[in-house]
């Protein structure tokens, strides 16, 4: 089963995972990790531990901000195209899509659907649209 790590600044990831579980119930394989209080080396080590625990299905790391310390830690921790896909700009729609489709799709197709769903969720609501 494809697993996911939501790697964010502060408690953003924890809260997103809590909301997903509030909507869908407990979700095995969906984990949050904050960079709060951790050095780059410590955060990279935690990512490396998560990557080491993946099965052959691989994983997806959702990032709140591509190019920040979380993205750097993910890359230093071993996240890469062979086993782990990095996705920046995490939002609730992306996580719900991940949980909904992860058992039915290969990782490459799942990633594209997640990105599409995330983009659809970013829109102007109401007047001015």
Any idea what the Cα angle at residue 64 is, between residues 120 and 114, rounded to 5°? Answer: 35
Any idea what the Cα angle at residue 51 is, between residues 11 and 102, rounded to 5°? Answer: 80
- Using one digit for the tens of pLDDT, what is the confidence trace for 42-69? 999 999 999 999 999 999 999 999 888 9
Confidence check: pLDDT of 126 > 90:
no
In a domain, 101, yes or no: yes
In a domain, 127, yes or no: no
In a domain, 92, yes or no: yes
Mean pLDDT across the chain: 94
Domains held by the chain: number: 1
Confidence of residue 25 (pLDDT cuts 50, 70, 90): very high
Confidence check: pLDDT of 72 > 70:
yes
Whether pTM exceeds 0.85: yes
Domain that holds residue 66: 3-121
Confidence check: pLDDT of 37 > 90:
yes
* CATH number of the structural domain spanning residue 115: 3.40.50.510
Confidence check: pLDDT of 81 > 80:
no
Distance between CA atoms of residues 40 and 8, nearest Å? 13
């Amino acid at each position: 089963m494809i697993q996911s790590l939501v790697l964010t600044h502060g408690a953003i990831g924890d809260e997103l995972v809590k909301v997903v579980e509030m909507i869908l119930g407990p979700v095995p394989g969906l984990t949050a990790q904050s960079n709060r209080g951790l050095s780059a080396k410590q955060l990279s080590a935690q990512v490396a531990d998560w990557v080491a625990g993946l099965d052959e299905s691989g994983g997806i790391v959702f990032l709140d901000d591509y190019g920040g310390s979380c993205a750097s830690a993910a890359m230093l921790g071993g996240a890469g195209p062979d086993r782990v896909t990095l996705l920046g700009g995490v939002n609730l729609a992306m996580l719900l899509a991940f949980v909904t489709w992860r058992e039915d799709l290969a990782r490459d197709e799942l990633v594209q659907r997640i990105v599409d769903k995330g983009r659809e969720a970013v829109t102007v609501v109401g007047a001015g649209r």
